[in-house]
Amino acid sequence: MDRLIARFAQEVENDIEIVTIYEKAGIQREIIQDNSFISLQEKHPSAIWFERKIYDDFGLRIIKTYDNRPLTHHERFPNISPMRKSFTDTQINEVKFKPYRYKSIKGDGVFNVSVGPIHTGIIEPGHFHFSQAGERILFLEVRHGYKYRGIEKMCEGKELDKIDTIISRISGNESIAYQIALYQIKEQALGADEVVPNIQHAILLELERLVHHFTDIGFIPNDGGFGASLTIASLMAEETKRLLETLTNSRFGFDCIGKDIELEKNREILIEYISKMDKDIAWFEDWIMDIPSLWDRLDTTGILTTEQAIHYNTIGVVARSCGLKLDRRDNEFYKQYGYKLQREKKGDVASRFKLRIKEIKNSLFIIKSMLNDFKDYSSIKHYNYEDGEYLSFVESSIGELMLYIKLKDSVIDRLFIRDPSFINWQCLHLMMTSDIIADFPLINKSCDLSYAGCDL
């Protein structure tokens, strides 16, 4: 089955078309009739959120669906279609509260537990609605969009070079990845026949990956009751953030792609960093793999089967921990510098944890190899972008992200963002049905999903 990558709507002349993007078939188009379109949910469950977003953005009815509830229009959101060209308001007014119909399981001894959207931890808002029988989770519904920012609308009508700062701040987990995606679109719009990754971008992207993988291998055991891991892994993450600040003037790498950063000048600092991290992660792995009580929590918890991972079109660590070969770095450019596609098979928390350690070691090797072959490159200096339709893909620390931009009359006519978390959040409930509610933070963190990537 061809993998579904994204689905969205856009206005074309006097019509609205549904754009569906597949891995093999590419872009498919359909001009809508009667203000409605037919759902793909039966074949592709991950189409559900895309289609609900189309309903919210353009007011189009979904036919043959089992979920036509709003996605980003929350209880006091007015009945508007903000992505239509005719919508030009600069603010919206709240309307009367309209209850949201959460899906839940009914029956004797079954009760509901609501968590969020405001949490005790320092995280973004997200709502988790559990159906419980005692401690056992029967069903989970995830709901986001509490910080709907209107990013896609915000970029419409702007020149391509005027959205760098916005794209850089879509999600703190993936700032560099999103910047690279935008840079690739600029290269395409300048007429490049083939967009080839460059070493400077790749090194910064691997450093961003390391920050979040280090953070995750600390937090996953921490959420399983083993706090010592967080202390140690946080030190590795902090050193990587400080290195990013040295290289880019930002701990998140904001606004760094497209600028001529002097990585060559910092070669010795990078070499010293790689040497230290190689030793630190080797020690960490030896230490943590020998703690039976921890692995008793991680093994067989939060299982996602390979069949489920395929059916829900999962990507990133979530997919690779189920044995799937999905990584946008799996190409000749990365392979020449020692990239190897890392996989696990069991699809549980333990697999997602072990996979991150493998990827950390491989990322360190990739950076080291690239430093031995570092080449200067010239960033884009001229801006005669051609009108057209452009797609880019980048493998972030969470997984494959996609950026779609349509240029018309030298400005952005449509921008669509498909964050990896927008896909993977939708299969989180499948990992919960054999576990207890106390395992939810552990399972959730093992996927390291972005809230901001959904609150667009």
Pair (126, 187) in one structural domain = no
Instruction: Summarize the confidence of residues 276-289 as an average pLDDT.
Output: 98
- The residue among 117, 143, 169 that closes a domain is 143
Residue 67 belongs to a domain = yes
DSSP 94-112: -------------STTEEE
Q: Where do we find the tokens 């790498």?
A: 253
Q: Is the pLDDT of residue 22 over 90?
A: yes
Pair (60, 170) in one structural domain = no
Kindly state the percentage of the chain with pLDDT values over 90.
81
Question: For residue 258, what pLDDT is reported?
Answer: 83
Q: What is the pTM of this model?
A: 0.95
Pair (294, 349) in one structural domain = yes
Pair (413, 293) in one structural domain = yes
Pair (130, 178) in one structural domain = no
Mean pLDDT of the chain: 93
Residue 393 belongs to a domain = yes
Report the C-alpha gap between 444 and 129 in whole angstroms.
14
Q: Look at the chain and report how many structural domains it folds into.
A: 3
* Degrees to nearest 5, angle at CA 174 with 170 and 178: 65
Question: For residue 33, what pLDDT is reported?
Answer: 87
Condensed to tens digits (0 to 9), the pLDDT of residues 59-80 reads: 999 999 999 999 999 999 999 9
Alpha carbon distance, N-terminus to C-terminus of the chain:
29
Residue 452 belongs to a domain = no
* Degrees to nearest 5, angle at CA 317 with 72 and 392: 65
- CB 41, CB 48: distance < 8 Å: yes
Residue 339 belongs to a domain = yes
Question: For residue 377, what pLDDT is reported?
Answer: 64
Report the C-alpha gap between 184 and 305 in whole angstroms.
34
Residue 456 belongs to a domain = no
- The residue among 143, 162, 195 that closes a domain is 143
Pair (191, 247) in one structural domain = yes
Pair (74, 62) in one structural domain = yes
Condensed to tens digits (0 to 9), the pLDDT of residues 317-351 reads: 999 999 999 999 999 999 999 999 999 999 999 99
Residue 159 belongs to a domain = yes
Q: Is 157 helix (H, G, I), strand (E, B) or coil?
A: coil
pLDDT band at 376 (very low <50, low <70, confident <90, very high): low
Question: For residue 52, what pLDDT is reported?
Answer: 96
Structure tokens at 277: 């991290």
Give the CATH number for residue 257. Answer: 1.10.645.10
Q: Is 130 helix (H, G, I), strand (E, B) or coil?
A: strand
Pair (95, 106) in one structural domain = no
Pair (255, 360) in one structural domain = yes
Question: For residue 293, what pLDDT is reported?
Answer: 93
Report the C-alpha gap between 145 and 141 in whole angstroms.
14
Condensed to tens digits (0 to 9), the pLDDT of residues 115-132 reads: 888 887 777 899 999 999
Least confident of 43-52, 104-113, 234-243, 271-280: 104-113
Q: Is the pLDDT of residue 196 over 90?
A: no
Residue 453 belongs to a domain = no
Q: Is 114 helix (H, G, I), strand (E, B) or coil?
A: strand
Pair (52, 164) in one structural domain = no
DSSP 331-352: SHHHHTTT------SS-SHHHH
64: containing domain: 1-99
Pair (43, 184) in one structural domain = no
Residue 353 belongs to a domain = yes
* Degrees to nearest 5, angle at CA 404 with 19 and 26: 50
Distances (CA, A) of 236 to 220, 243, 274, 277, 450: 15, 11, 11, 7, 21
Go through the chain and tell me how many residues it has: 456
Q: Which residues pair with 12 in a beta bridge?
A: 15
Q: Nearest Cα to 105, choosing from 131, 133, 137?
A: 131
Report the C-alpha gap between 3 and 43 in whole angstroms.
10
- CB 266, CB 321: distance < 8 Å: no
Q: Is the pLDDT of residue 41 over 70?
A: yes
Question: For residue 305, what pLDDT is reported?
Answer: 97
Report the C-alpha gap between 451 and 456 in whole angstroms.
9
Instruction: Summarize the confidence of residues 124-142 as an average pLDDT.
Output: 91
- CB 49, CB 56: distance < 8 Å: no
Condensed to tens digits (0 to 9), the pLDDT of residues 387-429 reads: 999 999 999 999 999 999 999 999 999 999 999 999 999 999 9
Pair (253, 339) in one structural domain = yes
